[in-house]
Structure 1
Amino acid sequence: MKVTRFLPVRAKLHSPGCTPEQRRLFHDYFVTHLPSSSLHPDRSPVGPHHKLPRADSSPHKSGEGQRPPSALPGVGASAGPSKETTVVRIPLKSAKHHFGGVTVRGSRPYNEDTYQAGCIEVPAFAKRQPLSISRRQAGQFDPNKQGQSASGDPQVFYFGVFDGHGGEECSIFLRDRLHGYVEDAAEKFGMKSSIQTQDNVVGSQDAIDNDRVKRGVELQRWVVNAWKELVGGYFKRFRPEYFTALQKGASAAQTPEEGEGPSDPLSMEAMLTFAFLNADLDFTRAQAQKTTNAPTSEDPVLDDRPINETDVLSHPQRPASQNLTTMLTAPIGGSKRFKGGSTGSIAMVSTPTPMPFWNPASPSTVVVAHVGDTRILLCKSSDGVAVPLTANHHPSTPVEATRLRRYAASFVTDSFGEERMQGLANTRSFGDISSKRLGVSAEPQITTVQLSPGEYSFMVLMSDGVSAVLSDQETVDIVKEARTPEQACKDVVAFATEVSEDADNATCLVVRLGGWERRSEGGGGSLGTKEMRDFKKRDAENPRSRRQ
């Protein structure tokens, strides 16, 4: 495992004097404290720790009020200041015992799946713990001071899996840029930390910042109007679920108040919805401004097509707006118009203290934002049951069918009995500019889960190349049998590729949680689905059995 020492950055996330160059922003490593002896084991002295000649030493006698011989300097209860530690940063993708990620192309000629993992620079959103009444001595080492982000909050971890279709341009864009849109939205919304109080006064109530609330509502109204003007169609009456100030019945004269939960116009849900819609807006607008070459063949079918067939949006000539701090050096989605898209799911993990979320004693909060048919699961430590945090956005889903029936009457059923809309199996995705007017949006489904210490064993993020072949319980049971998250990803992807008739691109991420060591205790371990998995494997090894 690669370990790099560095000097921590002390820039504040929302400090007026903090320039974008001083902010750490997204990074693919996490910060922690390690004892210096673990980095330099040869530095520890060998032999007696006193520096007296052996002739002057005397045996220890109990009952004299002296320190026992086992209590070496720097190990006692009050020896905190002398404990020497070093701040290190560890690449998350190299921490094989904490995280694993694998993506393969299967039997496809190329791989359109991507994934991302690291720490994102947004304020902490974990539920704050009660303050302890215990006090430490001045200068004593505090283990909760390790692993802080540049803003002073505990690190917020970010994991994402993206499944492209029609090409890899959109999934690569999401892998490289979506976390930047989330950071940018958090800064524009002026999000505050959930574990810090104003002026560091315990129990003080923050006054409502009307300017910040008004700015957040203006941003929501701006992105909705931008979609309405650019695409039209479905977006003419588009009101995102978490944009409460824009819902029907909300009076324009009323000033929205800041509160807690999804009803807050500046909630985490509203911020993530804005980030997803803004990212999709830039990608869609970038593709619309590109021109495509007219067909040169003399095919009469092509000649009968309308002249403005390539004008898929209302104003295709308008350039893409890159609202982020760092501009792209290349056009979004390549030099030619990209008509494909990508589904995706992200999970952000925040803790109330800098103690990492994989510690068995650490509670945490997980926020999931999901679009399409990628999937995120949790595995309970008590009974080993898979807990899905996402639902597929397909035309057959009741929620999606109700949302789109008024706008998309072109639901068709393919030869396999699956409903599709405009040829797409997903009703929510990034890109897919030809289907935007029918309602294929990137409005995310957002789920928040409070994790108690050791309540869950691990979290799995996967593309449909895995979830279409394995059930949720089969997936978590395969993970239970692995020794490390990295090995678990390899086992899941290998099994899904082996038993699939037409192996799609497969991607799997496994994140260790506090109950990892107890993953095989509850629910009979991995035996519940072993018979079914063995049957699938035998059936895949005997191709003649599939012939009718």
Structure 2
Amino acid sequence: MKQIPKLKSIHQKRSLSDFVSFPIRNYNQQPNLNLSQDSIYKHAKLKIQLLKAPSHFGHSTSRVMRLYNEDKYSVNMIKLPIKLNDYGMTKIVQHDVFTTSIFDGHGGDECSTYLRNHLNEKVETIEPTKEGYMDLLKKYNDDIGGYWKRIYRKRSDLFNSIEPKETDMDDLKLRLNQAYLSLDYEFLSNNKKSGSTSTSIWLYNLDPRDDSNLYFENGVISKLIISQIGDTKAIICDKDGKAHSLNSIHHPTSDIESKRLNKFSANFATDSFGENRFMNFANTRSFGDVIAKSKGISAEPDITQYIIGDSTSIAKNNLTSKTIGGKGGDECFIVLVTDGVTENATDQEIVDLIKTHHNNRLGKPQDCSEEVIKYIEAIGGDDNATCLIIRLNKWGKWPMEDKTGRIREERLKAGISRQERR
């Protein structure tokens, strides 16, 4: 592989924020306050730091049995261009988008830290264009080669698959592909050798004219976009308390990934533990990992999208078919977890653990995320473990049924027994 020329980071003016503003509702009027139509309190908002909003966003991480923690995560409010059709006219407005990401580093935490510090800024500030995307593919073709020579030959078809269409409200398919490859190339150009997987969500009110109501409020319909690299996971709890995986992991066992890479490389193998590997990697897509980049370990994201939110509003707008499982909305929460969690608990176990902790102790998302990590430690997990929880409009309104309680009890007993024998 050729030496990749160093790139200078270009910092543009941005609106990246660590805070969210909540409209103040059901205000308890005091006798000496004027809350008339002209009152300054009528449109009052409460500004809260996202990482310090335990009732709406939970986050917890642990190195578990490892010497140090390579997991990282980020959460921000950003502004992105969204298409608005108003009285027959189409215009682009800068709209609030909530985003949170989870990163699972390997070979050190340089890559996961780099992504935590730069991913959201890159997505917000990049100018997605055909010329910019093609230029990136040419750099990969010229400086890395191998797998990217085949990708470069298919560049027109690839661009057509992610180019914003007339009916699209946003440009996130192109924006995310260009931002991810740009960030990956910048990281490689600094001769960094570590890598990281990533799962991100991008969530915004489907009405660009409404800058007051957020995704967790009643009456709101939101668009949810998930961008995926590797084996970190996004899981959503529906109104019936059932877990749904929102993404497909990029392992050598994946049919899509094996077809993508078998056309180019014969580097599939099985390790001494019976695990499928591509070269020496458990994941077939990641940021970084310079030694495998020419073989096809790519930072091209898989992108999926859904409609979530208030079921009545969704039905009125004929959007039920675009909801998760066709259930019509009213989802309870989203969970993002690293493989240190998913290797020890199924999606439904994770969801049930969160629900029961809230039911038994009125746990907030922050309390529940901490409980997930404590559970992984107690049952004998050995990898770094991170859990993020995003509250949605039906938080706490799920059925009381615990589908996996007995399984979790058995796992805990086995974990305690192993620890006592050490």
TM range (shorter): 0.7 to 0.9
Among 21, 25, 40, the residue aligned to 1:31: 21
Shift in Å at residue 437 of structure 1? 1.0
Q: Distance in 2 between matches of 1:495 and 1:405?
A: 38
- The answer to whether the Cα contact below 8 Å between 2:80 and 2:124 also exists between their aligned partners in 1 is yes
Verify: 1:273 aligned to 2:177, yes or no: yes
Verify: 1:495 aligned to 2:375, yes or no: yes
Give CA-to-partner distance per residue, 1:482-534, whole Å, 9 cap, x none.
2210011001111112213x521000000000111313x2xx53x21001011
Verify: 1:238 aligned to 2:228, yes or no: no
Aligned residue for 2:418? 543
Aligned residue for 1:117? 75
Q: Distance in 2 between matches of 1:154 and 1:409?
A: 45
Aligned residue for 1:400? 257
Equivalent position SS for 1:436: helix
Shift in Å at residue 158 of structure 1? 0.8
Among 137, 161, 167, the residue aligned to 1:260: 167
Aligned residue for 1:345? 199
Q: Distance in 1 between matches of 2:198 and 2:156?
A: 21
Give 4+ residue runs of structure 1 displaced > 6 Å after superposition.
35-38, 128-131, 240-243, 544-547
Verify: 1:285 aligned to 2:285, yes or no: no
Q: Distance in 2 between matches of 1:518 and 1:242?
A: 47
Among 224, 244, 253, the residue aligned to 1:387: 244
Q: Distance in 1 between matches of 2:154 and 2:225?
A: 16
Aligned residue for 2:397? 518
- The answer to whether the Cα contact below 8 Å between 2:14 and 2:124 also exists between their aligned partners in 1 is no
Shift in Å at residue 230 of structure 1? 1.1
- The answer to whether the Cα contact below 8 Å between 1:370 and 1:390 also exists between their aligned partners in 2 is yes
Verify: 1:509 aligned to 2:388, yes or no: yes
Q: Please give the TM-score of this superposition, normalised by the length of structure 2.
A: 0.83
Give CA-to-partner distance per residue, 1:7-45, whole Å, 9 cap, x none.
xxxxxxxxxxxxx87x5521110123437977xx8xx33
The residue identity in structure 1 corresponding to 2:173 is E
Q: Distance in 1 between matches of 2:421 and 2:157?
A: 52
Pair 1:173–1:245, CA change in 2 (3 A): closer
The residue identity in structure 1 corresponding to 2:172 is M
Equivalent position SS for 1:122: strand
Aligned residue for 1:476? 351
Q: Distance in 2 between matches of 1:392 and 1:152?
A: 33
Which is greater in Rg? 1
Unaligned residue ranges in structure 2 (runs of 5+):
1-10, 311-328
- The answer to whether the Cα contact below 8 Å between 1:239 and 1:247 also exists between their aligned partners in 2 is no
Shift in Å at residue 360 of structure 1? 2.3
- Percent identity of the aligned residues? 31
Q: Distance in 1 between matches of 2:21 and 2:186?
A: 32
Structure number with higher strand proportion: 2
The residue identity in structure 1 corresponding to 2:368 is A
Alignment of 1:132-147 (within 5 A): none
Alignment of 1:166-315 (within 5 A): 166-185=107-126, 188-189=127-128, 216-238=129-151, 244=157, 246=159, 258-261=165-168, 267-287=171-191
Q: Distance in 2 between matches of 1:36 and 1:455?
A: 22
Pair 1:222–1:499, CA change in 2 (3 A): same
Shift in Å at residue 372 of structure 1? 0.3
Q: Distance in 2 between matches of 1:485 and 1:160?
A: 16
Verify: 1:419 aligned to 2:259, yes or no: no
Pair 1:541–1:447, CA change in 2 (3 A): same
Q: Distance in 2 between matches of 1:114 and 1:466?
A: 14
Q: Distance in 1 between matches of 2:156 and 2:183?
A: 17
Aligned residue for 1:70? none
Equivalent position SS for 2:344: coil
Q: Distance in 1 between matches of 2:232 and 2:107?
A: 16
- The answer to whether the Cα contact below 8 Å between 1:369 and 1:444 also exists between their aligned partners in 2 is yes
Q: Distance in 2 between matches of 1:240 and 1:489?
A: 45
Shift in Å at residue 83 of structure 1? 5.8
Pair 1:246–1:83, CA change in 2 (3 A): closer
Verify: 1:158 aligned to 2:62, yes or no: no
Pair 1:341–1:157, CA change in 2 (3 A): same
Structure number with higher helix proportion: 2
Pair 1:218–1:271, CA change in 2 (3 A): same
Verify: 1:107 aligned to 2:20, yes or no: no
- The answer to whether the Cα contact below 8 Å between 1:117 and 1:160 also exists between their aligned partners in 2 is yes
- The answer to whether the Cα contact below 8 Å between 1:162 and 1:171 also exists between their aligned partners in 2 is yes
Equivalent position SS for 1:528: coil
Give CA-to-partner distance per residue, 1:145-168, whole Å, 9 cap, x none.
xxxxxx965421010000000100
The residue identity in structure 2 corresponding to 1:345 is T
The residue identity in structure 1 corresponding to 2:147 is Y
Pair 1:241–1:459, CA change in 2 (3 A): farther
The residue identity in structure 1 corresponding to 2:369 is C
Verify: 1:80 aligned to 2:37, yes or no: yes
Pair 1:106–1:129, CA change in 2 (3 A): farther
- The worse-fitting range, judged by mean Cα deviation, of 479-488 and 426-435 is 479-488
Shift in Å at residue 546 of structure 1? 9.2
Pair 1:419–1:380, CA change in 2 (3 A): same
Q: Distance in 1 between matches of 2:17 and 2:154?
A: 31
